[in-house]
Amino acid sequence: MNLDILTILTLVPIITGLMLIILPQLLPKEMATNLKIITRNISMGIALAMFAIATMMFIGTIGNVEWTDILHGEYVLKNEQFSLISSIGVQWKVGADALSFPMIWLTSLLIPISMLVEWDAKRGHIFHPLILIMEGALLGVFVSLDLFIFYVFWELTLIPMFLLILLWGGEDRKYAAMKFFIYTFTASVFMLIGILVMYFHTTPIPGLGSMTGHHFDLVQMSLQDNLIPSEGLRHFVWILLLIGFATKMPSVPVHTWLPDAHVQAPTAGSMLLAGVMLKMGAYGFLRIAVTIFPESTIIFIPLLIFLGMASLVYGAWVCMGQTNLKRMVAYSSVSHMGLIFLGIATMQPLGIAGALFMMFAHGVISPLLFAVAGAFKHHYHTLEIGSMRGIAHHSPYLSGHMMLGWMASLGLPLMAGFVAEVAILIAFWMSFGWLVMLPALTLIITATYYLTSMQRTIFESNDPNQGILPDTLHGENPRDVTWHENTGMFILGIFTIIFGIFPFIFWDMMSVWSTQFMTDIMIDAMENVNVWSPSMDWISEVFK
């Protein structure tokens, strides 16, 4: 079997991560001690190599792919057919397109940065390999084109994250880890039933599924006309899938695991959780639910708008009342994820491209926010917003990063988040008219809580030369960020600005893909069902 590049990208981190954990148990004591010392360097080396491969794939050095030419339904860098459990139709099938590639690149970028930010983690000989395993599982979700493998990787991401929260988390970590695991696992077993119903409506393809006559191949499923004949069942399956994906995203009302998990998780865990794991929900929703059941998606547009709007408004509203920095950032993630649902609900190429870019931009910005929050926890031992003031005086670098991150997240122009927000709002206006006032006005709330928390933390001390330090320092001198935290945050900040000024780096492939996606799938579906459009005539009457 010729190993293709995506398989290598997925399996190498998992295998090396496992080896780095297991090897010290088997080696003699002295060698094991030596190995433990250099474990983090090896992990970082592998993570950087993965990032280099992903970047070379992007430039075209590997695979020679022209990313802006990829239309919906085409997958590049595919592997040769290789069946894993052929009697029930499971095969190893990977591929990338414009929907998954930005996520793949983002994952491979965030892994070395999160390792760097927690370079000095306790028990680093387990910590860094666990993050490597996490990388493999996350990449596996984005590259797999077989629903069985997809589900396996989907659940596999839980285990390293569970252990990361459990072993390196805050005081209430047990509760948070259990809640995280049970919440998301429960949701994804509902998704599993949906997948199984789809599985039982597939027609056989030769050489696969000798025992059952069905297969898990996602590409074949999306090609099959009318996968599930019964319309009611189709909607039911769509809802089962939505339960799984919306919980991962997370959307109100199934978001409550997120703040707990974030507050207790170690910094690197939070960065990966917010940066990539939340995007798994949006990715899966677009890849499976919307692609295979476009008509159900159109029928349930009001539900999507309701969920998106509820997450957006409620998340932002709750943020204003938070006193814990990390909790606030976590709720702001909920709020931003709401925009993704709104972008999909517009059923405009611009809206879907905006949702895709939102996934990407939020994946760059939110790790920066969590790195800042983690640094506060690390150096000031507290996350209470009111307890420290005028930090800019003591930690100028940290304050600078905080300012950049906070500004990027509230949607300042020339930063990555702005592009996505504007695209989604324009598309929303095109589809639903004056209803756009609701999400647009929510951005004011966003600005309010970000600016308030920033002002109270890094400025606003009464003495120009002396900030107010929290009690948790016990009179120690406050420190600024360490070099590795500084570097990590700096890289993220740079990328935030780069993708704000030159969004077309990824925007082009996304917009080509989503335009094609609309014309291929959605236009047909829209002809079959009535598209919901809000009756907003009375507003236009008012404005006349």
Partner 1 sequence: MNSLSDISLELLIPESIMIIGILTMILIPNLGDAKIRIPLTNTSVPVFIGGTRFTQVNNPFIPSIVAIITFTLSFFMSLIMLQGAKNGEIGQIMEVNQFTTLFSLIFTSALLMTSIATFYRMPPKQNPEIPQDKDTESSASAKIRILMNNRRQVDFYILLLMVGLGMCLMSKSTHLFLLFVCLELASLSSYVLVGFYKESDIGGEAGTKYFIVGSVASAIGIYGMSLLYLWNGNLQIDSLTSSWSTMENLDPFAGIGVGLMLVAFGFKVGAAPFHLATPDAYSGASSPIAGLLATASKAMGFVAIMKILLIITSPEEGVEAYWFIAIALISVITMTWGNFAALTSVNPKRMLAYSSVAHAGYMLAAIAAIGSGLGDYNSNVLIITALIFHLTILVLFKFGAFLVLTLLENEGLTHNMDGLKGLTRRDPVIAISMFIFMLSLAGIPPLSGFLSKLLMINGIVNVSAGTGSVSSATVLTWMTSVNVVFWLALSIVINSAISLFYYLRVGLLMFFEEPVVEGPLAKSIYLRITIIACAIFTLLLGIGPLSESLLEIANEAAQSLL
**What residues line the site for partner 1 (CB under 8 A)?**
25, 84-88, 90, 151-152, 155-156, 158-159, 162-163, 166-167, 174, 177-178, 181-182, 185-186, 189-190, 192-193, 196-197, 199-201, 211-213, 229-233, 235-236, 239
Q: Which is nearer to partner 1, 156 or 342 (CB)?
A: 156
3-state secondary structure of 100: coil
Q: What are phi and psi of 467, to 5 degrees?
A: -85, 175
Rounded distance, CA 182 to CA 193, Å?
17
Closest CA to 245 of 207, 177, 195, 179: 195
3-state secondary structure of 90: strand
Q: Least separation, in Å, of the C-beta of 92 and partner 1?
A: 10
3-state secondary structure of 253: coil
User: CA-CA-CA-CA torsion for 106, 498, 440, 535, nearest 10 degrees?
Assistant: -70
Q: Least separation, in Å, of the C-beta of 214 and partner 1?
A: 9
Q: Which is nearer to partner 1, 132 or 435 (CB)?
A: 132
Q: Least separation, in Å, of the C-beta of 227 and partner 1?
A: 12
Q: Which is nearer to partner 1, 69 or 231 (CB)?
A: 231
DSSP string, 176-205: HHHHHHHHHHHHHHHHHHHHHHHHTTPPP-
Q: Which is nearer to partner 1, 84 or 539 (CB)?
A: 84
Q: Least separation, in Å, of the C-beta of 104 and partner 1?
A: 21
3-state secondary structure of 468: strand
Q: Which is nearer to partner 1, 231 or 463 (CB)?
A: 231
Q: Which is nearer to partner 1, 152 or 501 (CB)?
A: 152
DSSP string, 299-361: HTHHHHHHHHHHHHHHHHHHHHT--BHHHHHHHHHHHHHHHHHHHHHT-SHHHHHHHHHHHHH
E-strand ranges in 3-143 read: 82-85, 90-92
Q: Least separation, in Å, of the C-beta of 111 and partner 1?
A: 21
Query: Residue 16, Cα to own-chain centre: how many angstroms?
Result: 24
Rounded distance, CA 422 to CA 203, Å?
42
Residue type, 509: M
Rounded distance, CA 37 to CA 24, Å?
11
Distance (Å) of CA 511 to CA 269, 383, 467: 31, 39, 47
State the number of CA atoms in the 13 A half-sphere of 537 facing the CB.
1
Q: Which is nearer to partner 1, 21 or 498 (CB)?
A: 21
Q: Least separation, in Å, of the C-beta of 229 and partner 1?
A: 5
Q: Which is nearer to partner 1, 63 or 170 (CB)?
A: 170
Q: Hey, which residues does 466 pair with through a beta bridge?
A: 463
Q: Least separation, in Å, of the C-beta of 162 and partner 1?
A: 8
Q: Least separation, in Å, of the C-beta of 90 and partner 1?
A: 8
Q: Least separation, in Å, of the C-beta of 158 and partner 1?
A: 7
Phi-psi region of 381 (alpha: psi -120 to 50; beta: other; left: phi over 0): left
Q: Which is nearer to partner 1, 189 or 539 (CB)?
A: 189
Q: Which is nearer to partner 1, 101 or 154 (CB)?
A: 154
Q: Least separation, in Å, of the C-beta of 23 and partner 1?
A: 13
Length of the chain: 544
Query: Residue 256, Cα to own-chain centre: how many angstroms?
Result: 17
